[in-house]
Amino acid sequence: MSISRRNFLGGMTGCAATLWSYQPLELDSAGHLAARGLDCVVLDLNSGCVLHESLQGYQAALLGGHNLLPEAGFDSRRRYRIVIVPGLGAMDHATASELSDSLRAGTNVLLESGAAFLSPAEFTDHQRMLQRHFDIAVGSPVDLWDVNPADDALATHRLGRRPGKKPVSHASIPYVSYLWPGETKVRDFSRAIPVSASAGDVIAKVGALPVALQRRVAQGTLIFLGSPLGPALRAGDPEALSWLRLVATL
C-alpha cells in the first residue's frame, strides 16, 4: 500500500498538547536575538523547510510562535541549549556553517529531514549537504508501507538501491521504535530516510532499518531524524510529545 504525502498529513491532523513553557523571543530591529541566552528555538528555514506541517507541529508542542526563529536571525555566537530544524530540505552553506559552529560550541542540534518528499535532484543536494557539514550519510527514501522493514528495506539500503514496490499486510502498521533518550514507538505512515550506523549511535529503527542517530560533536550533541516527528506532534501524538520532552531536557 502506497500513501501520498497529502493523504498521510490529512490523516495526522489534530491539536497538539503543550509540553512546557518558554519565554518569548526578544529580537532586535535586525531580527537577531537579544543579548540574553535562550533555552530552545525552532529554526524556520522558509523555503528550505519542505514539511511546513512539521514546523507547525514543533511550534504547537512548544507553545506556538514563542520559540520560532527566522533563518536570518540565527547567530552561532548566541547561546542556545537546543536548536530544532523541522522538515529540512535545502540549507545554504552559511546557515549550515552557523549550525555546525553552534553545535561545536555546546548547542544540541536536532535536524529533522524532510528529504523523503524531495525530487531526486533535490535529494542528492540534501544528501551532499548532510555529508559535508554534519558528516551524516543517508540512503534513498523508503516507503514504509511498501517494504518489510525487518528485511527487504535493510537489504535494499545496504545495496544502495531504491526499494521495490511490495505489498504489505494492513496489520503491519509502520512504527518508528525510538531507543534513546527513552524507549517509545511512534507511528509513521509515509517515508523515512535510512541513516548509516557508522555516522553515530542509532537511536530509532523501523524494523531493522536505522532511521535516526545521535552523535557527540565537540561540546554539543547532534540528533538526526530520518523519519519526520513534526506531523505526529501536530496531531498531538502522546508518544511523540513524550520523546520530544526527553530530548529538550537533555
Predicted confidence at residue 32, as pLDDT, reads 36
Give the model's pLDDT for residue 38: 60
Q: What is the pLDDT of residue 184?
A: 96
The whole-model pTM stands at 0.78
What tens digit of pLDDT does each residue of 161-172 get? Answer: 444 444 334 446
Percent of the chain beyond pLDDT 70?
73
Closest CA to 5 of 130, 144, 169: 144
pLDDT at 66: 55
**pLDDT tens column, 50-107:** 999 999 999 889 875 558 888 888 888 888 899 999 999 999 999 999 999 999 999 9
Average pLDDT over residues 128-149: 86
Tell which wins on pLDDT, 111 or 144.
111
pLDDT surpassing 70 at residue 22: no
- Whole-number pLDDT of residue 199: 78
Taking the alpha carbons at both ends of the chain, their separation in whole angstroms is 38
Return the pLDDT at 192: 92
- DSSP states of the chain as a string? ----HHHHHHTT-S-PPP----PPP-B-TTSPBPSS-EEEEEEE-GGGBS-HHHHHHHHHHTTGGGGEEEGGG--TTS-EEEEEEEEE----HHHHHHHHHHHHTT-EEEEEE-GGGS-HHHHHHHHHHHHHHH---B---EETTTS-TTTHHHHHHHHT-PPP-----TT---EEEE-SSS-EEEE--SEE--B-GGGSEEEEEETTEEEEEEEEETTEEEEEESS--HHHHHTT-HHHHHHHHHHHT-
Mean pLDDT calculated for residue range 145-155: 50
Contacts of 178 (CB under 8 A, 6+ apart): 184, 185, 186, 203, 204, 212, 243
pLDDT, tens digit (0-9, with 9 covering 90-100), for 23-49: 433 433 443 333 334 688 999 999 999
For the domain 5-248, what is the CATH code? 3.40.50
Residue 206 reports pLDDT greater than 80: yes
In this model, does residue 154 exceed pLDDT 50? no
Distance (Å, rounded) from C-alpha 3 to C-alpha 158? 24
The larger pLDDT score, comparing residue 140 to residue 153, is at: 140
| Mean of per-residue pLDDT scores for the chain | 79
Domain ranges of the chain: 5-248
